[in-house]
Amino acid sequence: MKGVLPVNARPVAAIAGVGEAGIGIHPDRTALQIQAEAAVRAIADAGLEPGDIDGVTATKGGDLLPGDRPALEIAEYLGLCPVFTDSTLAGGASPVIQIQHAVAAIAAGVCETVLITYASTQASRRQRHLGGHAAPEDHLVRQFDGPWGLPMPIGPAALAAARHMHRYGTRPEDLAAVAVSGRQWAMRNPGALRRDPLSVADVLASPYICEPLHRLDICLVTDGAGAVVVRRWDRVPPGRRVSVVGFGEAHSHGSILGAAELTETPAARSGRQAFRMAGCGPRDIDLLQLYDAFTILPIVLLENLGFCASGDGGPLVSSGATGPGGQLPMNTQGGGLSHCHPGIYGIFLVIEAVRQLRGEAGDRQVRAEQALCQASGGGAFGGSQATLILRKG
Amino acid sequence: MTPSLESLLSNPDSAPFWRAVQEERLVLQRCARCRAWRYYPRQVCPHCLAAEYQWEEAEGRGEVYSITTVHRAPAGFDLPAPYQVALVDLVAGVRVLGTVDPGSVLRIGDPVRVHFRQTSTGVRLPVFARES
């Protein structure tokens, strides 16, 4: 049946705790260490004991090794024996998809309290070991997206940006405005790694990597870990509770060769599902947390989710609407462009949304009752999308 | 990143495609049931799931759907940056990714033709050039 969770019924689950660790470049720490540290912080933030956790999820990106079982690995490290696990691999969207799967499992009654984790030390490992894990020579898709000299994942994003500029007249200044907006918020976040002032001119003056993307159109490369505890709603005390009121996932392609139209991601489908479940629409959202691995991505997501018409995303951001003082605050922690980006950013979108809805965001606090988190991922520019709508209380 | 011939011939889904490329021929799979062309090659039709198909000579003409100029080449690629990489819609109705011939400077919408270049490893690869 469509929509197991009835519109506007009492929520099934809430976010009870969040935690982060290891954000920066820390060659002396391992991914498991910072993953465990973030998990312990989230469990403590929820006011819970390890014995309360009966579900565990984790994902990996470029760190993934043959034989890895991400959820089982962190469960054992922490001494947990879950009755629900998820190691979904969908790139940057994975942590938000895992949160959704956890809520569905809670709704089915198979578990009550799920720990969602992510960690990577890709940045400091790259400094020690050049290159990542090469695909075997008979990997089918690599044979068709690999031999042409297109850097990954930047290349597909550049192709999407070029297509968007061609279709709608989006300007380089509009892309740069996304980076500037995030930096303005990051300057109010002591936890952000990039906090020096940034102008549109600065972004355009940074060297081209893949046209039209300049270096400052592209997210940071850092280490970092994040964790979230999702619990059955009636077991979370109301004081700092953040309810999950709507969600959806949708997938359109894995490689750049499978994308039908680069400016139209499945965020439109995942968003429609989430809004239907929540019984609301874009005008009911006070805070946006949109994946910003590349400046073009939030522009495309604003359009695909219905916050503006197709083609109007660039002018919307250039108007200042998403920055401090604007009517659509976006990525108030600084996003992947200024806060951190350990390969996968999805979990940090949720952590910031929770802090804002609880009123724990300090100098960057906005007035928000409902937040929308949009995590993008998959193989090539936005082929996997996950929408999560959170409500205060 | 520039593959060896042995590696390109190592997957049974794609070996016929790459073998034809070494002969400077462009062949694509065509579904025997619904007649759709498909790319990248695979055993199953992504439109109707039929298993039956033929390899057919494809017309190497198309139009640039999107394009980027790469300024930082990935490790192991045999051409020096800057060069262009394009997504091209072939007339057969499939979209392919490929390097642009260093002698061409292309934009979205430009008509292109598939040619073949010999890489530093001796392997032939398709490359796009402006259709004159």
- B29 bridge partner residues: B38, B55
From A343's Cα to the closest Cα of chain B, the distance in A is 18
pLDDT at A43 over 90: yes
Judged by CB atoms closer than 8 Å, whether chains meet at B66 and A141 is answered as no
A64 contact B CB<8A: no
**Which B-chain residues 16-35 have CB contacts (< 8 A) with chain A?**
18
Q: What pLDDT, in 10s, does the model give residues A219-276? A: 999 999 999 999 999 999 999 999 999 999 999 999 999 999 999 999 999 999 999 9
pLDDT at A379 over 80: no
| Residue range A102-123: mean pLDDT, rounded | 97
Task: Please state, rounded to an integer, the average pLDDT across all residues of chain A.
Answer: 95
Nearest chain B alpha carbon to A136: B7
pLDDT band at A1 (very low <50, low <70, confident <90, very high): very low
The pLDDT, as a whole number, for residue A3 is: 47
Q: Is the pLDDT of residue A378 over 90?
A: no
A215 to chain B, closest Cα gap in Å: 11
For residue A201, pLDDT over 50 is answered with yes
Beta carbons of B65 and A163 less than 8 Å apart: yes
Check whether A359 has a pLDDT greater than 70: yes
The 8-class DSSP code of residue A263 comes to T
Tell whether B43 is within 8 A of chain A (Cβ).
no
Q: Do A143 and B8 touch (CB under 8 A)?
A: yes
Q: Average pLDDT of A95-116?
A: 98
**C-beta neighbour count of A385 within 10 angstroms:** 31
**pLDDT score of A187:** 98
The first and second tokens of residue A86, run together, are: 């998820």
pLDDT value at residue A136: 82
| B3 interfacial to chain A (CB closer than 8 Å) | yes
Residue with tokens 């006070």, as numbered in its chain: A286
Which chain A residues touch B72 with a CB distance below 8 Å? 151, 209-210
- Whether A132 shows a pLDDT value over 80: the answer reads no
CB pairs under 8 A between A and B: 100
Tell me the H-state helices in chain A: 31-45, 70-77, 94-108, 122-128, 140-145, 154-168, 172-186, 200-205, 267-278, 296-305, 313-318, 335-338, 346-358
| Element spanning B89, H or E | strand B83-90
Tell me how many helices (H) and strands (E) chain A has: 13, 11
pLDDT of residue A130: 46
**pLDDT per residue over A299-346, tens digit each?**
999 999 999 999 999 999 999 999 999 999 999 999 999 999 999 999
CA-wise closest residue to A339 among A326, A351, A327: A351
Mean pLDDT of the A176-196 span: 98
**Nearest-angstrom CA–CA distance, A276 and A326:** 26
Interchain contact, A163 vs B108, CB within 8 Å: yes
Q: Is the model's pLDDT at A139 over the cut of 50?
A: yes
Asked if the model's pLDDT at residue B20 lies above 90, the reply is yes
| A328: helix, strand or coil | coil
Q: How confident is the model at residue A20 (pLDDT cuts 50, 70, 90)?
A: very high
Which residues of chain A does B97 touch, with a Cβ-Cβ cutoff of 8 Å? 144-145, 148, 150, 256-257
pLDDT at A135 over 90: no
What pLDDT score was predicted for residue A230? Answer: 98
Q: What percent of chain A has pLDDT over 70?
A: 96
Q: What does the alpha-carbon distance between residue A38 and residue A115 come to, in Å, rounded to a whole number?
A: 10
Euclidean distance between CA atoms A30 and A25, whole angstroms: 11
Provide the shortest C-alpha distance from residue A41 to chain B (in Å): 38
C-alpha span between A224 and A339 (Å, rounded): 11
Which residues on A lie below 8 Å from B69 (Cβ)? 208, 210-211
Q: Is A186 on the interface with B (CB under 8 A)?
A: no
What is the rounded average pLDDT of the residues B27-53?
Answer: 98
Give pLDDT, residue A5: 56
pLDDT bracket for residue A131 (50, 70, 90): very low
pLDDT score for A127: 62
Note whether B64 and A166 are within 8 A (CB).
Answer: no
Distance from CA of A164 to the nearest CA of B (A): 9
Confidence of residue A133 (pLDDT cuts 50, 70, 90): low
CB contact under 8 A, A149 and B85: yes
- Token representation of residue A90: 């969908």
pLDDT at residue A48 in the model: 98
Can you tell me the distance from the alpha carbon of A15 to that of A24, in angstroms, rounded to the nearest whole number? 25
pTM score of the predicted model: 0.97
From the list B125, B129, B130, the residue with the least C-alpha distance to B1 is B125
Q: What is the pLDDT of residues A55-98, one digit of tens each?
A: 999 999 988 999 999 999 999 999 999 999 999 999 999 999 99
Asked whether the predicted pLDDT for residue A347 surpasses 50, the reply is: yes
Q: How far apart are alpha carbons A129 and A144 in whole angstroms?
A: 26
Report the SS3 class of residue A135.
coil
A8-20: average pLDDT: 92
Reply yes or no on whether the pLDDT at B116 is more than 90. Answer: yes
